Structure 1
Amino acid sequence: MKKTEIVGYKRANLGRSAANQLRAEGQVPCVLYGGKEQVSFYAPAYLFRPLTHTPDVFEVLLNIEGTEYTAILQATQFHPVNDMLVHADFLEITDDKVIKIKVPIRLTGTAVGLNQGGKLQHKLRKLTVKGAVKDIPEYVDVDVTALKLGQTVKVDVIELPGIEIIDPISNPVASVNIPRSARMAAQAGGDEDEDGEDAE
C-alpha cells in the first residue's frame, strides 16, 4: 500500500457543538479504533486530500501529539451540500492483522476487441479482499489483452495468493462492448438482406 502521514491532536471535548467548531476551523473530527484504546482526535482537512481524492489505498502514519499509530482510513462522512469531509474513522493495523478492504483494479494490456471497433468498459473498479495487511497489494492487475468484441473478463480470473476475494467470482471486471452505431449498422444490413430476398 502507498503511505502518507497525518498529524493530529487529541480532542478534549466530544460533543456535537465542539465538533462543529472544529469543522468551522478547517479541522476534521476523527476516531482511531482497533488498538488497545480508542482515540478521538482531529486533524487539518487539507491533509486528507491524498486519501479522499484517489482510488488508491493508503497506509496512514498517524502522529497524534507525538504518539504514532499505523492505520488505514476505514470510513468517511461528507457534508451533503458542500461535499466537505466532516468525519473520518481510522482502523489501527499491524503487518499481521487481518483486514477487509477494497483494492483498486488496474486493467493492463490492450484488448483485441478495440481493433475490431469495440469499446472497453471498466465495470468493477475496486475488489473487496480479506487478508493480512502485509499481503494486501497496492493494485490488482487484470490483463484484458485477450478480450475480443463482446467478451467479458470476470473476478474468477484473479489470483491473489494468501488473500481471500470477497466479491462474487461471477462479477464482471471489464468487457469490450459493441458500439451502438455498429449494432445499428449490422441490423440495417440484415434488414436490407431480408428486403433483397423478399424482392426475389
Structure 2
Amino acid sequence: MKTIAISGSPRENVGKRDAKELRYEGKVPAVLYGGKEQHHLAVVIADLKDVIYTAEANFVEIDVNGAKTKAIVKDAQFHPLTDVLMHIDFLQLFDEKEIVMEIPVKLTGTSPGVKMGGKMVQKLRKLRVKALPAAMPQSVEVSIDKLEVGGLVRVRDIKADQYAITNTPEDTIVSVGMSRALKQAETEAAKGKK
C-alpha cells in the first residue's frame, strides 16, 4: 500500500483555545493513538491534502522530531458549514496487529450486459477490509467480465486469501439492469408478436 509522509510537532497545550490558534496558523490538531500512550500533535493542513482529499486508501508515516511512526487515518472532523478540517485522529500500525480500512473497489473488464444496452450501477465504491498492514490491498478488484443484464456481484462473490471483507455478504457491489431503451425495445418486440 502507498505510504504518504507528513511531519508533525508535539502539542503541549490541549484545549479549545489552543486548537483555534493552531488552525489560525494553518495547522490542525491531531491525536496519534494505538500504542502504549497517545500523542497530541499539530500537523500542517497542506500536508494532509493527499491523505484526506483522495478516494484512495493510504498509510501515513508521521515524522515527529525525527521519530517516524506508521499510521492510518482513523477519523477526520470537518466544520459543518465551512468544511474546513478541524481535527484528525491517527491509529498507529503494528506489523502483527490486524486493522480495518475502507478500501476502494476497482472494476475490471467489460460487461457483456452493458454491451447489449444494459445499465451498470455500482452500489458500493469502498469495502471494509480487515488485514495485517503488509497484506492490505491498494484496491479490491472486481471482475465484471461475466456480468449479464440482470446480473450482479455481491460481497460474498469476492475471493481473497490475504484479507477479509467485513461488509455484509449479501451487499451488492455492482449490478447490470435494463436501460429504458432496452425495456422499450423488449416491450415493442412483445407487442409486435401479438
TM-score bin, normalised by smaller chain: over 0.9
1:27 Cα offset (Å): 0.8
Q: Does the alignment pair 1:116 with 2:92? A: no
Q: Aligned partner of 1:48: which letter?
A: L
1:5 is matched with: 5
Please tell me whether the aligned partners of residues 147 and 176 of structure 1 are also in contact (alpha carbons under 8 angstroms): yes
* Per-residue deviation, residues 101-156 of structure 1 (Å, max 9, x unmatched): 11111100010111101122211111112121111111110100110112111111
2:57 is matched with: 57
1:13 Cα offset (Å): 1.0
1:188 Cα offset (Å): 5.2
1:183 is matched with: 183
Query: Where do residues 124-143 of structure 1 align in structure 2 (5 Å cutoff)?
Result: 124-143=124-143
* Per-residue deviation, residues 80-103 of structure 1 (Å, max 9, x unmatched): 111111110000002222111111
Q: Does the alignment pair 1:77 with 2:57? A: no
Q: Does the alignment pair 1:35 with 2:35? A: yes
* Per-residue deviation, residues 25-67 of structure 1 (Å, max 9, x unmatched): 2111100000122100011111111111212111111001222
Could you say what secondary structure the match of 2:36 adopts? coil
2:168 is matched with: 168
2:15 is matched with: 15
1:8 Cα offset (Å): 0.6
1:103 is matched with: 103
Q: Aligned partner of 2:156: which letter?
A: D
* Per-residue deviation, residues 6-33 of structure 1 (Å, max 9, x unmatched): 1011112101011011112211110000
Query: Where do residues 147-162 of structure 1 align in structure 2 (5 Å cutoff)?
Result: 147-162=147-162
Whose radius of gyration is greater, 1 or 2?
1
Q: Aligned partner of 2:43: which letter?
A: A
4+ aligned runs moved over 3 Å, structure 1: 184-190
Could you say what secondary structure the match of 1:23 adopts? helix
Distance of 1:6 and 1:170 partners within structure 2:
38
Could you say what secondary structure the match of 1:114 adopts? helix
Distance of 1:51 and 1:177 partners within structure 2:
35
Where structure 2 has 5 or more consecutive residues not aligned to the other structure, the ranges are: none
Please tell me whether the aligned partners of residues 96 and 134 of structure 1 are also in contact (alpha carbons under 8 angstroms): no
Question: Which stretch has the larger CA shift, 163-172 or 181-190?
Answer: 181-190
Q: Aligned partner of 1:101: which letter?
A: M
Q: Aligned partner of 1:174: which letter?
A: V
Distance of 1:70 and 1:159 partners within structure 2:
28
Could you say what secondary structure the match of 2:137 adopts? coil
Distance of 2:73 and 2:86 partners within structure 1:
14
Give percent identity, aligned residues only. Answer: 36
